[in-house]
Structure 1
Amino acid sequence: MFRGIANVNVVSTDVAGAIKWYSGVFDEAPYFVRPETGKPQYAEWRFGDDDDEFAVMDAVFRPVSSQPGGTLVYLHVDDVQASFNELIAVGAREFDPVMQRSEEWWTASVVDPFGNLIGLIQSPHWAAAH
């Protein structure tokens, strides 16, 4: 039934601010922004080996709760500690610290400046497939 993750969406009440923050995280501007002029309501980036899509959408389309929550999607990274430190340095805050799950597995999660959970995983299975 499921064939992969096509798009990860996070929400923000400040889409322009989220675009600026995530453009710094991804080290590039989004390839897709709507509307094309005026106040942005949606933006997408492609990243990684499979050109996965990551999007920010205006919270009016899905209200943000006062606490981080919802689905926690883990994004593969080559070095969980370094990626975690980089996100903290640019304004994210720790949700789950870096933890070793087994000899080759590491995870952590952060809350972005807009209240979204972002998971990080260092997975030997993902790395072997790519």
Structure 2
Amino acid sequence: MFRGFATISYFADDMTAAETFYTQLLGIPPYFRRDADGQTAYIEYRIGDYQAELGIIHSRFAPYGPPAGPAGVIMQWHVDDLPATLNRLLELGAKELQGITPRGEGFVTASVVDPFGNIIGIMTNPHYLSVLATTQPLPGE
């Protein structure tokens, strides 16, 4: 049974540039890193209301060859201000894949391709907000 999003993994050839991009975008440094053969192989961020994990993996560990173009699942990240988030992504060097697109009943999406070829989806999602409003903090939070 699917229980919820745990970790999403993006791939990058240049881990230093990827860390710079995502640290600037998210406003926090990665909390975890793993090296292989003296090079950064993996970095991970915990972000958002549920501390979702975003892992950046060196492309040499991809289970498939390098993609010919933008690749990956379009994981839609809920954001509070879609136009501002889209603009921030573009300022950091992402390229627009699909502009702001209303999907009906308050659902609005957009997507970009990061400088490493990964697709980042962003959206306003009323369902996300309603679930968030009903969640209780875990003990100790």
Tell me the equivalent position of 2:121: 119
The 3 A distance-change label for structure 1 pair 70 and 24 is same
Distance (Å, rounded) in 2 between the aligned partners of 1:13 and 1:90:
17
Q: Which moved more, 1:98-107 or 1:41-50?
A: 98-107
Tell me the equivalent position of 2:107: 105
Tell me the equivalent position of 1:10: 10
1:77 equivalent among 79, 84, 95: 79
The correspondence of residues 17-96 of structure 1 with structure 2, limited to 5 A, is 17-35=17-35, 38-62=38-62, 63-96=65-98
TM (norm. structure 1) is 0.94
Q: Which runs of 5+ in 2 are unaligned?
A: 133-141
Deviation at 1:14, TM superposition (A): 0.5
Which portions of structure 1, spanning 4 or more consecutive aligned residues, are displaced by more than 3 angstroms?
none
Q: Secondary structure at the match of 1:19?
A: helix
Supply the RMSD in Å over aligned alpha carbons.
1.5
Rg larger in 1 or in 2? 2
Same amino acid, percent of matched pairs: 37
Q: Secondary structure at the match of 2:40?
A: coil
**Contact 1:16/1:39 (<8 A) preserved:** no
Residues 47-67 of structure 1, C-alpha deviation per residue, up to 9 Å, x if partnerless?
A: 000000001001011133120
Distance (Å, rounded) in 1 between the aligned partners of 2:27 and 2:81:
17
